[in-house]
Chain A
Amino acid sequence: MKIKSKIGLISCSGEGLSEGMISRVATRRILEERDNVVTICLPLFLAGGQEERDFAKDNPCITVDGCEKMCAAKGVKMYGKVHPKSQIIISEIVERGKHLKPKSKSKIEPEDEKLVHETMKIINNEIEKVKEKDE
């Protein structure tokens, strides 16, 4: 059976950390590249209505968090009452040692592009896995 829902890609949007910027930019670029992916501004889980709270129930979600506090993953569990299908954490990608921690929390520097691309590659892989499982 083919899924009718789109895949929800939820970024932590963290303003306080440079890793949050990577999660946001990678998520946004994926959204602009693919038409089977949707997102929601995370704070809308609390500020919005039932429709926003049901987002995670209605769409299998992949979360992209900047740090180990994992606001996006926790938000999906707290408000959607479901577990994300996949959880990606930027600080863990950085800890693997291939990429430097980004310096700026407000803009992507040229040296951050590799980390953004790596994150996008991981997101795309997870999207394919979620699609396969739900088909």
Chain B
Amino acid sequence: MSEKKKSKYIIIPCSGIGKAVGTITRRATYIVTDELLPNDTDSICLPLLTIKDEETVRKIRQNPCITVDGCVAQCAKKNVEHHKGRLHGEIKILDVIKENPKLKPGTVLDIGPDGEKLARKAAEKVVKIVGDKS
């Protein structure tokens, strides 16, 4: 097996707690890592990168990363870039919302059916990036 095949894509949601879009990033990530591509993807706690956890920094440098950000602050992308991780793609939930203007997410604690649909659309985008890069 080649080295490339051993690598798993690390899907990194933004860890946002203030807005529903943050919850959607987490949900999208779980859809990818638990349902759609469980054998090819993994995730990390983003705050571990924020506190410069050595093992986590090593993981994002050794594996291709796809970030899923909720708001314009783009915490996931910036944390990966700061630590010189292998950023292979980025998803912005705000773009997914713009592409699906009829879908209105619910709240931080309950994103509702539309939020779930947005999460699934974001997850599909992640899957496409993985497919395109493989």
Contact = CB atoms under 8 A, between A and B. Distances in A.
A25 B109 contact: yes
A41 B45 contact: no
B101 to A, nearest CB: 25
Interface in B54-112: 73-76, 78-79, 82, 108-109
Contact of B75 (A17, A24, A44): A44
Nearest to A49: B73
Interface in A64-91: 69, 71-72, 74-75, 78
Contacts of B29: 15
Chain A, interface size category, equals 20 to 34
A15 B13 contact: yes
Contacts of A12: 45, 47
Contacts of B78: 43, 46-47
A32 B74 CA distance: 24
A42 B78 CA distance: 13
Contacts of A119: none
Given A17-B45, A42-B50, A47 B79 contact: yes
B30 interface: yes
B17 A43 contact: no
9 contacts: A13-B46, A15-B29, A16-B44, A43-B75, A46-B75, A69-B51, A71-B47, A71-B48, A75-B50
A4 B46 CA distance: 31
Contact of B50 (A15, A20, A46): A46
B17 A15 contact: no
Contact of A13 (B34, B47, B53, B109): B47
Chain B, interface size category, equals 20 to 34
Contacts of B26: 15, 106
A14 B52 CA distance: 15
B22 interface: yes
B78 to A, nearest CB: 4
Nearest to A20: B45
Nearest to A23: B17
B30 A43 contact: no
Contacts of B16: 13, 41
A103 interface: no
A94 to B, nearest CB: 17
Interface string A32-47: 1000000111111111
B27 interface: yes
Given A16-B48, A25-B109, A75-B51, 14 more contacts: A11-B17, A12-B45, A13-B16, A13-B46, A14-B47, A29-B109, A41-B22, A42-B46, A43-B78, A46-B49, A46-B79, A46-B82, A71-B45, A74-B51
